[in-house]
């Protein structure tokens, strides 16, 4: 049985961390180790995790200083066990169904291990009491580099990747400040250099918090306006442009010609208003629904994406 290491970042997670750890320990896949990095918690998270680690020798805790979620997960990857076959990102406040790990391993195990592999899946979105609210949408346009450059559809807590993917990351570690989020970076890696496996089954309960309600407006028009304002606000910093530029800096020499063109055009067609408008009209880049793709095109033309 292949070894799987779960990479869990915690920060002030005392409210739900026991439930999550119990769900990890209750997996029906037995060859699991759990590497936890605490990102400088001020509550009882560390003492709770330490109590669990004393009872379960497959739990290891790294006590870190507060660096933020991206840095915390990147450190977990770099400190991960080199003899594991697969690695799974994990958030502190979700709840994994018993089949979470075994399902991912069963699908990943059918693929060539020499290829960087990235698994991610659908979600059961639940409230704070783990009561089902809805199922996440199946990405209608599918995964691809033309999507990954401007959108992340690989929710981090569902991601499982293989050793080859970890080695690719280690060989080209990005600057933290250039990365949108750890899962967005791995979605880029998977679509550019590996194989992405999307599972339409959900094996995870994802807690929906009040701050994470984008797209739940009560009308299509209101929802579109909310999303436009959100994208425009983010566009002042151009996080996906910044991330793509970092990706291009690290991997330009390893990309195929059509991939280079895809990235180069996105980064450099924005030099003039005419260039931005022309690119917005003809771009092959896409988000997962037509509304969001249209918003992207509009914001790109305005030099706000």
Residue ranges of domains in the chain: 4-207, 220-301
The tens digit of pLDDT for each residue in 208-260 reads 875 443 333 344 444 445 444 555 555 455 899 999 999 999 999 999 999 99
pLDDT of residue 208: 86
DSSP codes joined into one string, 60-93: EEEEE----HHHHHHHHHHHS-TT-SEEEEE-TT
> pLDDT-derived band of residue 304, with 50, 70 and 90 as boundaries?
confident
pLDDT of residue 30: 94
Pick one of 3.40.50.920, 3.40.50.2300, 3.90.550.10, 3.40.50.300 as the CATH number of 4-207: 3.90.550.10
The tens digit of pLDDT for each residue in 52-106 reads 999 999 999 999 999 999 999 999 999 999 999 999 999 999 999 999 999 999 9
Location of structure tokens 């909310």 = 226
The more confidently predicted of residues 299 and 219 is 299
Question: What's the DSSP call for residue 175?
Answer: P
**Mean local confidence (pLDDT), 203-207:** 97
Mark out the alpha helices in the chain (DSSP H runs).
Answer: 17-25, 45-55, 69-79, 100-108, 145-148, 163-171, 182-193, 220-235, 239-251, 257-268, 273-282, 290-301
Helix axes 182-193, 163-171, angle to 10 degrees: 100
Task: Specify the pTM.
Answer: 0.92
pLDDT of residue 24: 98
């Amino acid at each position: 049985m292949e070894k799987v290491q779960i990479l869990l970042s915690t920060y002030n997670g005392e409210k739900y961390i026991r439930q999550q750890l119990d769900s990890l320990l209750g997996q029906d896949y037995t060859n699991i180790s759990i590497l936890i990095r605490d990102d400088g918690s001020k509550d009882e998270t560390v003492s709770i995790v330490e109590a669990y680690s004393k009872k379960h020798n497959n739990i290891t805790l790294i006590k870190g200083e507060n660096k933020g979620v991206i840095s915390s997960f990147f450190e977990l990857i770099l400190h991960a066990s080199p003899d594991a076959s697969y690695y799974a990102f994990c958030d502190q406040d979700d709840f994994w169904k018993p089949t979470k790990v075994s399902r991912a391993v069963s699908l990943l195990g059918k693929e060539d291990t020499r290829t960087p592999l990235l698994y991610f899946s659908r979600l059961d979105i639940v409230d704070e009491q783990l009561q089902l609210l809805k199922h996440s949408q199946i990405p209608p346009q599918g995964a691809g580099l033309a999507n990954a450059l401007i959108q992340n559809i690989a929710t981090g807590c569902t991601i499982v990747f293989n050793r080859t993917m970890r080695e690719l990351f280690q060989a080209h570690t990005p600057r933290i400040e250039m990365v949108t989020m750890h899962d967005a970076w791995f979605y880029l890696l998977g679509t550019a250099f590996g194989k992405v496996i999307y599972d339409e089954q959900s094996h995870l309960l994802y807690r929906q918090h009040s701050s994470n309600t984008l797209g739940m407006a009560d009308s299509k028009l209101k929802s579109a306006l909310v999303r436009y304002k959100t994208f425009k606000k983010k566009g002042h910093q151009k996080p996906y442009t910044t991330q793509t530029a970092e990706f291009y800096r690290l991997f330009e020499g390893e990309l195929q010609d059509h991939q280079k063109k895809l990235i180069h055009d996105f980064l450099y067609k924005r030099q003039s208003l005419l260039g931005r408008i022309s690119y917005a009209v003809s771009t092959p880049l896409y988000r997962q629904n037509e509304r969001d793709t249209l918003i992207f095109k509009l914001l790109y033309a305005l030099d706000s994406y």
